[in-house]
Chains A and B, each alone.
Chain A
Amino acid sequence: EIVLTQSPGTLSLSPGERATLSCRASQSISSTHLAWYQQKPGQAPRVLIFSASTRAIGIPDRFSGSGSGTDFTLSISRVEPQDSAVYYCQLYRNSPPVTFGGGTKVEIK
């Protein structure tokens, strides 16, 4: 089973700073199989990025994804207070079909 490891565990930033979130897979994966989600307190997750770098409908262009092989990154170019949330990467494969990373909490000072 492929394991996704996210880092850092918590990221504390001021408004306007750049956020860089890492998702590392225990073995090489197809970028088509990697998605990112944002979850705010008390809410269900929502998809931000799929296929590692494609923004979902309605997602601001401040959010971008990149990476290949085992290393993937979610970037937020200029964080805003409403970006406070936990961010998860998710892998889709045949067995087991879906795996999530442990999450990165982004705090805006």
Chain B
Amino acid sequence: QVQLVQSGSELKKPGASVRVSCKASGYTFTHHFINWLRQAPGQGLEWMGFIDTNIGNPTYAQDFSGRLVFSLDTSVSTAYLQVSSLKTEDSAIYYCARWFHFGSGGYYDYWGQGTLVTVSS
């Protein structure tokens, strides 16, 4: 069965960086884009971007001012999210999600369990 398993919770100080991993299993990793999304406490879902797992090309949401890096290790079917120059407002649950693409549409069919990142001095 398809699974996305994320790394554990992180506590970071403002200005630091954090890396979150997302290990996929149960399907061919390079056949589906991996998206990254986040959810601040009590808030809605925010799309951060995605990575083409076939060629490794990332696309970032404009709101993050170059603080994001998406990467892959296809040998272990794992995607990584790095966020640098953390601010307290980056405290959130970070999700990876598999994009199921069809024709001109698509949706997220599988999600990781989420990784809580807390930024506090």
Contacts and interface: CB of A to CB of B under 8 A. Distances in A.
A32 interface: yes
B26 interface: no
Contacts of B108: 35, 37, 45, 47, 90
Given A44-B95, A51-B105, A96 B61 contact: yes
Interface residues of B, number: 22
A47 B45 CA distance: 13
Contacts, number: 55
Contacts of A103: 44-45
Interface stretch (B7-15, B65-73, B76-84, B110-118): B110-118
A32 B103 CA distance: 9
27 contacts: A32-B103, A32-B105, A33-B105, A35-B107, A37-B45, A37-B108, A44-B111, A44-B112, A44-B113, A45-B45, A45-B108, A45-B111, A47-B109, A50-B105, A51-B105, A56-B109, A88-B44, A90-B45, A90-B108, A96-B47, A96-B62, A97-B47, A97-B50, A97-B59, A98-B47, A99-B47, A103-B45
Interface of B: 35, 44-47, 50, 59, 61-62, 95, 97, 103-109, 111-114
